[in-house]
Amino acid sequence: MLGAKGAGPGRPKIAMFVHPKMVLQDLVGPLTVFNIMHSEIHLVWKTLDPVMSEVGIAVTPSTTLRDCPEKLDVLFAPGGLGGTLDMMDDPEVVEFFAHHGKAARYVTSDCTGSLLLGAAGLLRGYRAASHWTVRELVALMGGIPSSERVCIDRNRITGGGVTAGIDFALTLASLLRSPEEAQAYQLTIEYAPEPPFNAGRPDTAPAAITERITASRAAIVARAREKSRIAGEKLRG
């Protein structure tokens, strides 16, 4: 069980929330780095039943929301917009983040996971990154949208879309360990990206490609906007 692996003094206690329809890369990228750090890792869900990711690969939780340890070093939310929206509607999940976010040393996310942090009231007055299609929605829940690949605002550390999870994890590793150790982890996983195209951001991709992706995600982004608006209203009482 991951929760038992690496447990001990001086090892960061990391709770990584998992949920149905999450983007597997959002979890696995950071998890790989955290594992190299010899962290005490807890994969958290409502039950211990396997959770199906968006690619059809199941992830087995190591602990439940109820049994998650207190006084975490890191609280983490992955993305996967469809799953994120479901979680924003789930009072048990939102309360879990609100509770543990108060005491966690670092409150973190990758991709659309920042919307879940927002719904839990954890981004009010904080800058936060997210997937570019929904980044502006954090403002509806009191956050300040950031286009940074990794955004650090006090103890809130959020990554942009999907692949930013590795950058996020290495950044966090530099804070939990040291910049030197983080560089060692980077070399260990040979993280030296050389993408074949300069199309990873809407401002660098061809306009026709950006327009196509924007149109293809219009319906779910509209849902996300409404969920974020409702969450913001709840936070404002």
- pLDDT-derived band at 3 (thresholds 50, 70, 90) equals very low
What are the domain boundaries of the chain?
Answer: 13-235
- Please give the pLDDT value at position 6: 43
- Please give the pLDDT value at position 165: 99
Radius of gyration of the chain (CA): 17
CA 197 to chain centre: 25
Closest to 132 measured CA to CA, from 21, 194, 31, 221: 221
Average pLDDT over residues 14-38: 99
- Please give the pLDDT value at position 10: 84
**Which H/E stretch holds residue 28?**
helix 24-36
Give yes or no for residue 8 having a pLDDT over 60.
no
Give the Cα separation of 213 and 219 in Å (integer): 11
Give yes or no for residue 2 having a pLDDT over 50.
no
Q: What is the pLDDT of residues 163-203, one digit of tens each?
A: 999 999 999 999 999 999 999 999 999 999 999 999 999 99
Give the Cα separation of 68 and 58 in Å (integer): 20
Average pLDDT over residues 40-63: 99
> How far is the CA of 214 from the CAs of 61, 82, 85, in angstroms?
33, 16, 18
> How far is the CA of 10 from the CAs of 13, 76, 103, in angstroms?
9, 19, 18
Cβ distance 95 to 117 under 8 Å? Answer: no
Q: What is the pLDDT of residues 35-47, one digit of tens each?
A: 999 999 999 999 9
Give yes or no for residue 5 having a pLDDT over 50.
no
* Pair of tokens at residue 116: 């879940």
Give the Cα separation of 120 and 146 in Å (integer): 19
Rounded to 10 degrees, what is the CA torsion of 194, 200, 206, 211?
160
Query: Taking the domain 13-235, which CATH number applies?
Result: 3.40.50.880
Cβ distance 176 to 121 under 8 Å? Answer: no
Provide, rounded to the nearest whole percent, the portion of the chain with pLDDT above 90. Answer: 95
Residues labelled catalytic: 111
CA max distance for the chain: 53
Q: What is the pLDDT of residues 93-132, one digit of tens each?
A: 999 999 999 999 999 999 999 999 999 999 999 999 999 9
Give the Cα separation of 2 and 202 in Å (integer): 37
Q: What is the pLDDT of residues 144-163, one digit of tens each?
A: 999 999 999 999 999 999 99
Give the Cα separation of 92 and 73 in Å (integer): 21
> What average pLDDT is seen over the chain?
96
- Please give the pLDDT value at position 9: 52
Q: What is the pLDDT of residues 64-96, one digit of tens each?
A: 999 999 999 999 999 999 999 999 999 999 999
